[in-house]
Structure 1
Amino acid sequence: MAQILSGLSLASLGQSDDIARASRAVTALDEVTRQNAAWAEKGTAAAQSLQDQAMPLNMAMGGSRWGAGVGEILWGDLTYIVEQ
């Protein structure tokens, strides 16, 4: 009977170690997920800022000697990049 109890005790310790390792892994995954979300937010803000800055440039290019075509190309490329 003592051997059975000893075996159960060892198995329980092993399970506790496995649970602790799984918990650490979940915590690490959670941290990476939070970092990715923060980077995505920063990327979205940067893309919006670029779009806001490009609009006056596009308008200025439309009235330049190069004509509206250059501005439209620039704006179209930026819109494509932001939407990706």
Structure 2
Amino acid sequence: MPVGFDFRQDSPLLIEQLEKSLREKDERIMSLETENAMLHLRTAQLMRSQQAAAEVAMVTRIHYQQQLVRAKQAIHVGL
């Protein structure tokens, strides 16, 4: 009798182990894909937040510049 793999006896166990390993890997892939999607969503949210903050800073700067222009005009008119 040859030493090694007895296909009739060992194959059901091997198939079961391979199927279990495949299921575990599929679950891990699904978990990573879910995490990736959540990270993409969070990145988009942060980018929108950053864009909104930049817009607020720009409006504030324009408002401040307009106030300076008005103040200079008031000083110039007062002279």
Q: TM-score, normalised by structure 1?
A: 0.70
Separation in structure 2 between the aligned mates of residue 46 and residue 58 of structure 1, nearest angstrom: 18
Identity of aligned residues (%): 9
Aligned partner of 2:13 in structure 1 is 3
Deviation at 1:2, TM superposition (A): 0.6
Deviation at 1:59, TM superposition (A): 2.2
Q: Deviations over 1:1-46 (max 9, x none)?
A: 1100100000000001000000000000000000011011111111
Separation in structure 2 between the aligned mates of residue 8 and residue 56 of structure 1, nearest angstrom: 72
Indicate the RMSD between aligned Cα atoms, in angstroms: 1.5
Separation in structure 2 between the aligned mates of residue 63 and residue 38 of structure 1, nearest angstrom: 37
Aligned partner of 1:41 in structure 2 is 51
Count of aligned positions: 65
Aligned partner of 2:61 in structure 1 is 51
| 5+ long unaligned stretches in structure 2 | 1-10
The structure whose RCO (Cα within 8 Å, separation 6+) is larger is 1
